[in-house]
Chains A and B, each alone.
Chain A
Amino acid sequence: MNWVLENLEVIGGYTGAHLLQALPPILVAFLLSLPLAKLANARGWLRTSVTTTSSLMYAIPSLPLFVLLPGLIGTSVRSPVNISIALSLYGLALMVPTASDAFRSVSRDVLGSATAQGYAPAARFLRVELPLAGPVLLAGVRVVAVSTISLVTVGGVLGVPSLGMLFVDGVRRGIVAEIAAGVVVTAALALLTDALLVLLGRAVMPWTRQREVRRA
């Protein structure tokens, strides 16, 4: 425990670095998945191939990808950018199939009715289709967020600063408290982010928190 109290600053620094690597991929995966999913849904064959590609991509082990990526894009092995790019790919692999399902979950009748009321295509997407796909999209983003936050730790093995460094360093120096701190803070970060996403979802999708009260 003493180790933790004496190294609060180190833990804080790693936490910040960890978040800086985790948040952009979560955002990128979410934003890019929307057009990709729409595109995939527009064509049947494309949807199948996108879903397959996504599963294949997720099957690539993270450590080799972190090592290979610098060679492909010309960054240094220890650059946090690698981690963020690799995690964006993993995030997309998770998020695109979910987004595709999310858009398919929106009732055709409701979309048809929105068109009949006179929504122009862009407005219909932004104000009807996207919000109605929201609950499934949110479920996908929550998985991506938690998975991304935990995967960032793998970078620690390569010496990229993140909470993962606490395990690596703790194991090397035999400090149990340091290892435990790494695990606990990473988990806490993931849980906190998840809770924030849930709250955000309730705020922007008020209709989902209403209990169904059917009245005669």
Chain B
Amino acid sequence: MIGFENVRKEYPGGTLAVQDFNLEIASHESVVLVGSSGSGKTTLMRMINRMVDPTSGRVHIDGDDVASLDPVQLRRSIGYVMQASGLLPHRTVLDNITTVPVLRGTAKREARERAHELMETVGLEAALAGRYPSQLSGGQQQRVGVARGLAADPNILLMDEPFGAVDPIVRHELQRELQRLQHELRKTIVFVTHDIDEAFLLGDRVVILKPGGIIAQVGTPQEILADPADDFVASFVGADRGARTLHIERVDGRDVVVDADGRPAGVLAAQTAGRAGDGPMGERPS
């Protein structure tokens, strides 16, 4: 379990990144911190592995105040995945994945064996093991990032906008893969993004942040959609624009789901089931 208690972060010069933040994250839970820039979401996440120390308040993991733990050891026990630029450009794919186990003193051979397994787990061809990050596509780099985050089999995985730099199709694929992985591995995941759809897709719970790390609402995606706490949340999730208010229109004998702006969102599931090959998104009234 990860806990934030009255956490505040003030930078020299008076910038208040986080005012007074409280949150408990259960083990095996996946929590997404979502907010625009300046919401303090990344700052909060980095407090967990002591990349940032709070000015006051405390962050604890399974009851231990992280301030009492050695930062280097702590970081080696927590998986960290960030945008592709975070891979070490001078190390091969395999060496990137084995970074943390090797730092922790695992024998190189053992670490490499595990890295090969992980490459398979995250969907990377074995042939890529000897490549450098710059020789990979954005999606492949991101998979390497995820494999590296998982390499030391940490209980906690921190993900800092990991899919922000890839195109929408690849991003969707990576999000699906992460869901599948999480289903198998049951890590405690703290995920930071500014994309509310990504947050709803990946979070067991979603924390919507206002500037200064103020929690606008915490809840499951369903709870937030059904009952936005205030106008800020409604606007953030798109409910105020009608993007989340769906109704059904009948087109060519099939039920098409349309939002308040008249934009088709999909086809009602019962009807697509019998038509293999038709994606749920592809239907447009013409």
A residues neighboring B (CB under 8 Å): 107, 109-110, 112-120, 123, 128, 131-132, 134, 205, 207, 210, 212-216
With A205-B90, A210-B132 as contacts: A116 and B103 at CB distance below 8 Å = no
Question: Does A109 lie within 8 Å of B51, measured CB to CB?
Answer: no
In the complex, residue of chain A having the shortest beta-carbon distance to the beta carbon of B152? A118
| A212: chain B residues within 8 A (beta carbon) | 134-135
- Decide yes or no whether B59 CB sits under 8 A from chain A: no
Q: Which of B77-85, B179-187, B238-246 interfaces with chain A?
A: B77-85
How many residues of chain B are within 8 Å of chain A by beta carbon?
A: 32
Question: Does A109 lie within 8 Å of B82, measured CB to CB?
Answer: yes
- Decide yes or no whether B140 CB sits under 8 A from chain A: yes
Cα A113 to Cα B83 with chains together (Å):
9
Given contacts A110-B86, A115-B51, A119-B72, 19 further A-B contacts (CB under 8 A): A107-B85, A107-B89, A112-B51, A113-B85, A116-B46, A116-B51, A116-B75, A116-B82, A117-B99, A118-B100, A118-B104, A123-B103, A128-B90, A131-B90, A205-B90, A210-B135, A212-B134, A215-B135, A215-B140
- Decide yes or no whether B87 CB sits under 8 A from chain A: yes
Cα A118 to Cα B137 with chains together (Å):
26
Cα A131 to Cα B132 with chains together (Å):
14
Cα A216 to Cα B173 with chains together (Å):
14
Question: Does B49 lie within 8 Å of A116, measured CB to CB?
Answer: yes
With A107-B85, A109-B83, A210-B132 as contacts: A117 and B76 at CB distance below 8 Å = yes
Question: Does A117 lie within 8 Å of B148, measured CB to CB?
Answer: yes
| B80: chain A residues within 8 A (beta carbon) | 113, 116-117
Question: Does A117 lie within 8 Å of B75, measured CB to CB?
Answer: yes
- Decide yes or no whether B229 CB sits under 8 A from chain A: no
Cα A72 to Cα B191 with chains together (Å):
63
Cα A118 to Cα B77 with chains together (Å):
8
| B135: chain A residues within 8 A (beta carbon) | 210, 212-215
Cα A19 to Cα B132 with chains together (Å):
37
- Decide yes or no whether B88 CB sits under 8 A from chain A: yes
Give A190 Cβ to nearest chain B Cβ, in Å: 29
| B90: chain A residues within 8 A (beta carbon) | 128, 131-132, 134, 205, 207
